[in-house]
Structure 1
């Protein structure tokens, strides 16, 4: 169960890892680097494409393409082709941007927003308010707001077998649970006790209903929470800012973890060149296939 380096991506903010079992490939974004990765696992073949704006999340489509969250919009994308806008999110809040995004069990693309913390060149910009919310975008491009605009940084999207939706607010070091009722989110409450190990970023569920959560901002680990929200274990990582995770490879038996080098000093990166890489850990459990848009 020792983490191993799979690909030295040097991502500024690697995020939104998904596993495409049809291609046996991992797909993820580098938000600050404005690029999208795909790594064919068996062949170790890596491809990368530039994005026209900050790509914040990516999901798989039923027809084989991808759906991508950009800074202010959600777009349909064929790998290497142009981005076709499906929906613009929060046009009344130009200083917000999209962050987390994932295809839900309903076949829609769910996205979270936040105050934009990135300058045009990808450098850090100060945040001054909590104005993020969670939205649902269906195949027609209709946007439905599911929560008030009360999040600092939206992260984590997971749908449990018993009808709960799990999500996180990184700035509050909190993971929440909602009940899903006729497509609406109700009864928000704390899911897991805040940890003194970084803050919550991206997550995935395994077949046992355990939530695997990356602990960003110095957490240097992935935390596994039981279905009742109790902490089950910590898996240490060689990177300090793990950002997203997904089970992949045949059998969904390997946990892949992206990471970031955002705001890190040149001295730190010289001493820790693995920051921003893609890692893998075997024998932790088994994951679930991704839902597909449409």
Structure 2
């Protein structure tokens, strides 16, 4: 079993969406409910925090023009950490629906695939969207409680996403030219043990790594949906994963302190930390939003 390393003891409430940025050579991630964007430089040990005036910071992506796409409540913005500037991109959903943006990821055509969720985590109020590099939004489908596990295969011909509270990850055929999803099917089913599929990433072998919220583990699936590897973790709530480092061989894992009783939390010192594991597998460069 590979050793789990503590990168930053951030004590995040709901750490999420780690991304390796090749421009800054830093690992970046968010704390959704505080809300804040964080970075850590493994060479210097510098941990930086950028705070936002919103209720939620639900998702994060790299932007081709520099900086990041940040999902603040139900809107997307380009954020430049150098001067803390925010540039509005688009409102994905109107305010007042009881929803917020959650997990999303770009494909290699510069499109952002992202979903909304019920902010109260109970009702199927969420929808799934495709946001073009120009910022136009295309609604795809609804009936989602919590969108998660968004990732694409190395050839952009398969898209994965989950509804965490329905305990399933689905796979879709993706037309990389037209951006059309078809052939929705169950890829991984956690229904028997009520595992909660959270954030995911695809490696250079085309395998999907999935963080299991409330499951103490990260699971690697082959493209056929077979469990290939399980990494047990010293935390209840791993939330998302990415590959980083100069050679993209380090698996970074965000975690949360949310929804843990005080008694359990007192005995879980790494809850909310950014963790890392050397898994002997190479990741893929993170796709960027924009043209």
Q: CA–CA distance in 2 between the matches of 1:289 and 1:197?
A: 32
Q: Equivalent residues in 2 for 1:40-119 (5 A)? A: 40-53=41-54, 54-79=56-81, 80-91=83-94, 94-117=97-120
Instruction: Name the one with the larger strand percent.
Output: 2
- Deviation (angstroms), 1:93: 5.6
Range with greater deviation from structure 2 (65-74 or 87-96): 87-96
Q: Structure 2-normalised TM-score?
A: 0.93
**Residue 141 (structure 1) aligns with:** 135
Q: CA–CA distance in 2 between the matches of 1:257 and 1:16?
A: 9
1:167 equivalenced with 2:168 (yes/no):
no
**Where does structure 1 differ by over 6 angstroms across 4 or more consecutive aligned residues?**
none
Q: Give the RMSD, CA atoms, in angstroms.
A: 1.5
Q: How many residues align?
A: 283
Deviations 1:223-268 (A, max 9, x none): 0001101111210011110001001011111100000111222222
**Residue 147 (structure 2) aligns with:** 154
Q: CA–CA distance in 1 between the matches of 2:12 and 2:154?
A: 33
**Residue 179 (structure 1) aligns with:** 173
- Equivalent residue of 1:56, what SS? strand
Q: CA–CA distance in 2 between the matches of 1:291 and 1:145?
A: 21
Deviations 1:210-230 (A, max 9, x none): 1000000x2000000011011
- Deviation (angstroms), 1:111: 1.2
Any unmatched runs of 5+ in structure 1? 118-126
**Residue 231 (structure 1) aligns with:** 227
Q: 1:205 aligns with which of 175, 199, 202?
A: 202
Q: Is the 8 A contact 2:104 2:114 kept in 1?
A: yes
- Deviation (angstroms), 1:84: 2.0
Q: Is the 8 A contact 1:24 1:42 kept in 2?
A: no
Deviations 1:22-61 (A, max 9, x none): 2210111100121110111221211001011111111111
Q: Is the 8 A contact 2:206 2:223 kept in 1?
A: yes
Any unmatched runs of 5+ in structure 2? none
Q: CA–CA distance in 2 between the matches of 1:114 and 1:203?
A: 17
Range with greater deviation from structure 2 (266-275 or 223-232): 266-275
